[in-house]
Amino acid sequence: MPELPEVETIKRVLEPQLKGLTITKVTVNRPEVTAYPAADEFCRLLTGQRVSGMMRRGKFLYILLENGGRVILHLRMTGGLLFTPADFPQEKHTHIIFEMDDGRQLRFSDMRRFGRFWMLQNEEVDTYSGIAKLGIEPFDDELTTEYLILHLGKRKKAIKECLLDQSIIAGIGNIYSDEILFTAGIYPARPAGSLRQEEWERLARVIPERLTYFIEKNEITPEEYLETKGQDYRNTPFLQIYGHAGKTCPVCGSLLSRMVIGGRSSVYCPGCQKN
DNA sequence: CCCTGCCTGCTG
DNA sequence: CAGCAGGCAGGG
């Protein structure tokens, strides 16, 4: 489910709550969810550790520990994190529970079980999670017209597929690639190599602008987040085309179309995004 | 490069 | 019932 704006929202909600708490017990109900190390070692290493903060990188989350260790997780399609009182009703498909020293629990649930956890010690190099292969953050100063042209300017594959390539820019998924290309007025199936200078300029501007906008629209209090079980993506009413195939374009009134690009369902406006 | 697998649940 | 879902790794 979550792309960068949602993962950032989760980080902003959870970090102030978890910071300073010590993990007293870890329960792993589905051992395949801990990709590294194996579940028993994962639990052993984390028990007794104190949380110093959280970070986001692309769609990955970090839970940082005072001893220098860190938990890394990726929610993939349907993963969710909730910080709950101990007696809060448990979500179906809850695979990991971290009990904290204030009596509350951090719970990971994931219907489709694609989400993964890793745990690395202070000095340990992360060759496991895939974070090392990520490209730049969308809000980095490095995200410039020149960067896009350098890395994508000669690619034959569709610009939409390029935006989904986590090794170039980290964090963009199927929803926001569609939204970004709509705002930039670029037909999603265009070979990246066919984009003109001014289109790369527009993308360099629109990518951080749209993601920032959707992070802001997602803002939620910890109480609201818990009430809605972390499933309330408040920015969805502000999506202009994702999920709106067959409806009219909010800008030009054309009928929004849908096509499959790189195996992913894609929505675009034939009026605003000409081939 | 495309294709499949990984999972469960919802929609048409 | 098939088809699809906000992701990604791995295989051919």
pLDDT digits (tens, 9 = 90+) for A128-169: 999 999 999 999 999 999 999 999 999 999 999 999 999 999
- Residue A140 resides in a domain: no
Is residue A19 part of the annotated active site? The answer reads no
Q: Is residue A253 part of a domain?
A: no
Q: Compute the average pLDDT of residues A29-55.
A: 97
**What is the residue-averaged pLDDT of chain A?**
96
SS3 A15: helix
* Distance, CA of A169 to CA of A163 (rounded, Å): 7
Chain B positions with a protein C-beta closer than 7 Å: 1-4, 6-9
* Same structural domain, A111 and A154: no
Using N-to-C axis directions, what is the helix angle for A197-217 and A174-184, rounded to 10°? 130
Spanning CA of A123 to C1' of B10, the rounded length in angstroms is 44
Instruction: State how far the Cα of A5 lies from the Cα of A176, in Å rounded to an integer.
Output: 9
Could you tell me the residue range of the domain that residue A151 belongs to? 145-236
Q: Are residues A114 and A179 in the same domain?
A: no
Q: Is residue A247 assigned to a domain?
A: no
Is residue A263 in a domain? no
Q: What is the pLDDT of residue A192?
A: 95
Instruction: Tell me which of A11-15, A41-45, A53-57, A257-261 is least confident.
Output: A257-261
Task: Specify whether the CB–CB gap between A186 and A199 falls below 8 A.
Answer: yes
Are both A127 and A182 inside the same structural domain?
Answer: no
- Measure, in angstroms, how far nucleotide B3 C1' is from residue A262 CA: 11
Tell if A175 CB is < 7 Å from nucleic strand C: yes
A240 CA to B12 C1' distance (Å): 24
Residues A127 and A151 in one domain: no
Residue-level pLDDT at A1: 59
**What pTM, to 2 d.p., does this model score?**
0.97
Residues A120, A22, single domain; the answer is yes
| Residue A2 annotated to the active site | yes
**A32 is a catalytic site residue:** no
Residues A121 and A167 in one domain: no
A49 in the same domain as A168:
no
Indicate the residue among A98, A131, A164 that finishes a domain: A131
- Check whether residue A218 has its CB closer than 7 Å to nucleic acid strand C: no
Span A174-225, pLDDT tens digits: 999 999 999 999 999 999 999 999 999 999 999 999 999 999 999 999 999 9
Residue A61 CA to its chain's centroid (Å): 8
Could you check: is the Cβ of residue A233 within 7 Å of any atom of nucleic acid strand C?
yes
Domain harbouring A31, CATH code = 3.20.190.10
Percentage of chain A exceeding pLDDT 70: 100
Residue A170 CA, nucleotide C7 C1', distance (Å): 13
- Residue A249, in any domain of the structure: no
pLDDT of residue A236 exceeding 90, the answer is yes
Task: Give the distance, in angstroms, between residue A66 CA and nucleotide B10 C1'.
Answer: 42
Domain boundary among A131, A156, A177: A131
Is residue A208 domain-resident?
A: yes
Q: Is any atom of strand B within 7 angstroms of residue A57's beta carbon?
A: no
Closest CA to A5 of A230, A181, A169, A172: A172
Question: A258: Cβ under 7 Å from strand B?
Answer: no
Q: Does A153 map to a domain?
A: yes
Residues 11-30 of A with CB under 7 A from strand B: none
Asked whether residue A262's C-beta has any atom of DNA/RNA strand B within 7 A, the reply is yes
Is the preceding peptide bond at A31 cis, omega within 30 degrees of 0? no
CATH number of the domain encompassing residue A167: 1.10.8.50
- Kindly state whether residues A122 and A161 are assigned to the same domain: no
For strand B, is any atom closer than 7 Å to the CB of A155? yes
Q: Is A261 within the bounds of a domain?
A: no
Identify whether residues A156 and A94 lie together within a single domain. Answer: no
Query: How many domains does one find in chain A?
Result: 2
Same domain, A99 and A213: no
Nearest protein residue to nucleotide C5, judged by CA and C1' positions = A77
Q: How confident is the model over A101-130, as pLDDT tens digits? A: 999 999 999 999 999 999 999 999 999 999
Last residue of a domain, one of A104, A131, A158: A131
The number of residues in chain A equals 275
Are residues A213 and A120 part of one domain? Answer: no
Say if residue A12 is in the same domain as residue A62. Answer: yes
Cα angle A169, A186, A219 (rounded to 5 degrees) comes to 55
- Strands (E) across chain A are located at 23-28, 34-36, 51-57, 60-65, 70-74, 79-84, 94-100, 105-110, 116-120, 257-261, 264-268
C-alpha Rg value of chain A to the nearest Å = 20
Q: Which of A56, A59, A107, A210 is catalytic?
A: A59
